[in-house]
Amino acid sequence: MRQTPKLTVDGIAIFEGKLVLIKRKNPPFRGRYALPGGWVEVGETVETAAMREFLEETGLGTRIKKLFGVYSDPSRDPRGHTASVVFELEIIGGKLQGGDDAAEAVLFELDAIPELAFDHGKIVSDWLAAKGF
């Protein structure tokens, strides 16, 4: 059987003027901050997966604003080759709270973002540059 990368999604959203991040509850990168995201389930679109994962991990409902990019460096995830479809999301409701595999959901000022898990530092840096920050 031919092997292919596993498909993931990540969401970038601003809430109350700050970037929404989660603190990872599980390995890899347990205890590090990351963008909300996760695996795309069989039969699910990447758009639906991005909104579902964001809700599960942060308690915040979203809608897709736009596709931001695709990140597929084979070394981006120590568990194996993944390709992540990254969306810019708009918050439409809910209450900020960690859930699912997020120990907590937190807000960070755009000029005070900590070191992030996976390649999320590059994703956020690219996004900030695209936004003119």
Q: Which of 47, 56, 90, 104 is catalytic?
A: 104
Report residue 89 as tokens.
């999301």
Count of CB atoms situated within 10 Å of the CB of 22: 26
DSSP single-letter state for residue 116: B
56 is catalytic: no
User: Do 131 and 95 meet the contact criterion of CB atoms below 8 Å apart?
Assistant: no
Count of CB atoms situated within 10 Å of the CB of 12: 26
- Enumerate the active-site residues: 104
